[in-house]
Chains A and B, each alone.
Chain A
Amino acid sequence: MSELEWLKYEVIIHWAAVVFYIISTVLFAYSFVFKNDRFIKKAIAVAAIGLIPHSVALLLRWIEQGHGPYMTRYEVLSSDAWITVVLFLLFSLKWKKIQSAGLFVLPVVFFMVTVALFTNPQMQNLPPSLRSFWLVLHVSFAKLAAGSIIISLGAAILYLLKEKNESKPFYQKLPSVEILDEYSYKFAGFGFIFWTINIIAGSIWADVSWGRYWGWDPIETWSLITWLMYGIFAHLRVFWKWRGKKSAIFLVACFAMSIFTIFILPFVAKSLHSEYFTP
């Protein structure tokens, strides 16, 4: 099969995943509008089913191009969306109260995959600098961080919505504002840990590849600023007892910073990182 044929099948399978994620989103929305808990379980099941074609599509790409999905915007968006769904489903099994965040998480996921499908899906060869075990660690934890902070953001936004509309029946079905606040902090904590590992793995790899573990490269620096923001959030939370609205708004700002670092900067900034990303 030629590369073009692989791409064709891969894109079709990706679209199948998008369809399932859309259905899951609709089911989440339905469950809240009509106050029917059973549809949350259905929504989660459909998201899990959508993960199957999504995984197949990414796997096909991995096999054909001989390396993981971390080079082009197309595969970075798709794989980040994949890890977000996986994390959401796993955390939903352990902490059932976070399931309602699917109302936010699933639309973000299908939006990411859809945007990916409108970018150039062409495969790219792995350059010599990226042939390293540290790449796998660096990129994997970057994706885990992205997934965790998306879920954290979901909880924060649900908090803000519920706080403003607490008396409305629709929002009374959501977990309590205290629980939403706690989960937004918890997943921000996971994101902070994964982001730290991402930076550490990147630093060690930079030393192995370029002979310096930190060079104030734009992407390194933005990544550090994002890390510092989450660090500030942790201090505000613990020492100044920031809870509720202040905490949620700060998390939204942290998320905006991290989105810029992960999804926008690699494609616009001149840096050692951006050499390997194509639009």
Chain B
Amino acid sequence: MIRKKLEMKMIKIIRHITLSRSTALLLISFIGILSFVGLIVPQLSESSIEPYDQWKEANGFIAHVAEALNLNRMFTSEIFLASIFVMLVVVVYSLVNLYSSVRRSGGTKNPVVPDKNFINYFSFLVSNEKSIDTILVRMQKKGYVLSDKSEILYSMRKNFISRWGTVVFHLGLILIMLTGLGTYLFQSRGFVQLLERDTFFGSKADFLNTENGILASKFAPQVNVVLKNFSPEYYSNGDIKSLESSVLIGRNNEQPVPAKLSINEPYEIDGLKIYQSTSFGYTVGLNLERDNQIIPVYFSLDHPGKFGKPYFGTSDFPTTDYLMTMKLTPDPSNKSFELKNPELYLEISEQGQQKFSGIIQPGESINIGSSKFTFSDIRFWSGLIVTKNPFVPFAFIGFGLILIGLVMVYIFPTRTIYISVEQVENNWKLAFGGVARREKAIFENEFNELIESLYIEEGALNVGTRMVEV
């Protein structure tokens, strides 16, 4: 018996600690602080390895501590995810409480005037009992709805929908947190560097890098994408205006369909989305002839971003010890990115020793020892992003609910006016009291103006009393 009582007491304390408003506020602050830490410490991801390594080299001990505490992966760390999960539990509990509270504050047959949050009290006498009905109608025209009623007391409310706003808002918040967790667990995403006239077969090896949720299976989307043609468009000063990939897309064993991918216009197929990335460039084809073998290799060079700069790339030549440094100038005579007598500046070194340095043009060859390199091809490469995340629509629904909830709460603040009716000899004494949870001072002006207009319109018999209650 005592043990059971102790257990219940413990549960009560734990509930109080974990599910109180203070806890909610502390959690929000904690998540904010963790996010702040995630900004200060460079975050490690597949696409940011090089800048992270540079930071690590420059900040030895601090980087070591950050790695030990998982601060370099803050937003997928255990502590962050645990905080989100606890926050989720707290918000669900809040939602249940809010819902019950709003349901309970519906109409009753015996309304009671609250003794707190009272702003003003205003009363006057009228000679006609029908004035009460007229007043109710006038207040309804001002947006007040009769919510409770007894013989001597009326309760009129405006913007009660605002109370539901907090319920809707928290529901949206829950949905967003759940979809966030779902995304973290199940999302798949990969980046492809696809050459013109080449095919992406949807296998893991075809991706340059991938990001998978911890419970997501290996990302092999089973979709074929053939890049027929890539068309960048430029402004007169060389800034990029648009990027478009003309592709054929289809599932394995299905007839592919033509499509155009451009920025902000992804293609969707069977739950997959394929995006045009802003990364693109030229690919240079170099054939190596050696020992009666021809080894064709393609090197992708990045777009320089400005006129007058070459497309640049450095890479090892596979199956050899050669290191290639390449600078491609598409149009040496005019500063443009279009191919007109392109020149490739090529540096080849082997084990630190330079073997060749010079300019070659398409079709030309150079000999280094028994190896012959031929500049065989130039074509565009286009960066494509392939993603799979079934939770995205739910996140958007959550956004919508949050917004609707906020508008309901802030734009329509709840107001309540109580009207008590008392017969005094042959007249009727009407007393008005206004209650507002938010924007009390602003409501006070509205309340005073409203009641004074009623007082004037109904031809009140006396000035009435007016006092402020705290």
Contact = CB atoms under 8 A, between A and B. Distances in A.
Interface string A259-270: 000000000001
B47 to A, nearest CB: 10
B385 A235 contact: no
Interface string B208-245: 00000000000000000000000000010101111100
B399 A203 contact: yes
Q: Is chain B's binding surface mostly helix, strand, loop or mixed?
A: helix
Given A211-B273, A224-B35, A204 B396 contact: yes
Nearest to A182: B441
Contacts of A222: 39
DSSP class of A's interface residues: helix, strand, loop or mixed?
Answer: helix
Interface in B404-461: 406-407, 410-411, 437-442
B264 A127 contact: no
A212 B442 contact: no
* Interface residue range, chain B: 35 or more
B392 interface: yes
Nearest to A135: B264
B246 interface: no
Interface size class of A (residues with CB under 8 A): 35 or more
A190 interface: yes
B295 interface: no
Interface stretch (A38-46, A113-121, A193-201): A193-201
Interface of A: 95, 124-125, 127-129, 131-132, 134, 176, 178-179, 181-183, 185-186, 189-190, 192-193, 196-197, 200, 203-205, 207-214, 216, 218, 221-222, 224-225, 228-229, 231-232, 235-236, 238-240, 270
A213 B183 CA distance: 10
Contacts of A127: 239-240, 278
B38 A210 contact: no
Contacts of B242: 128, 131
Interface string B262-286: 1110100000010100100000000
Contacts of A129: 263-264, 278
Given A178-B440, A228-B31, 16 more contacts: A125-B239, A186-B439, A196-B403, A203-B395, A212-B389, A214-B180, A216-B43, A221-B39, A224-B35, A231-B28, A232-B25, A232-B29, A232-B32, A235-B21, A238-B437, A240-B21
Contacts of B329: none
A192 B410 contact: yes
A260 to B, nearest CB: 11
A228 B31 CA distance: 9
A178 B436 CA distance: 14
Given A204-B399, A216-B75, A178 B21 contact: no
A255 B51 CA distance: 32
A97 B241 CA distance: 48
A197 B43 CA distance: 27
A216 B399 CA distance: 17
Interface of B: 21, 24-25, 28-29, 31-32, 35-36, 38-39, 43, 51, 74-75, 180, 187, 189, 235, 237, 239-243, 262-264, 266, 273, 275, 278, 385, 387, 389, 392, 395-396, 399, 402-403, 406-407, 410-411, 437-442
A229 B399 CA distance: 18
B2 to A, nearest CB: 36
A213 B264 contact: no
B25 A213 contact: no
A235 B402 CA distance: 16
A235 B406 CA distance: 13
B342 to A, nearest CB: 24
B118 to A, nearest CB: 15
A224 B442 CA distance: 30
A132 B264 contact: yes
A109 B406 CA distance: 28
Contact of A128 (B240, B273, B387, B437): B240
Contacts of B406: 192-193, 196
Contacts of A197: 403
A212 B51 CA distance: 21
Contacts of A214: 180
A114 to B, nearest CB: 29
B385 A211 contact: yes
A125 B241 contact: yes
Contact of B392 (A185, A205, A213): A213
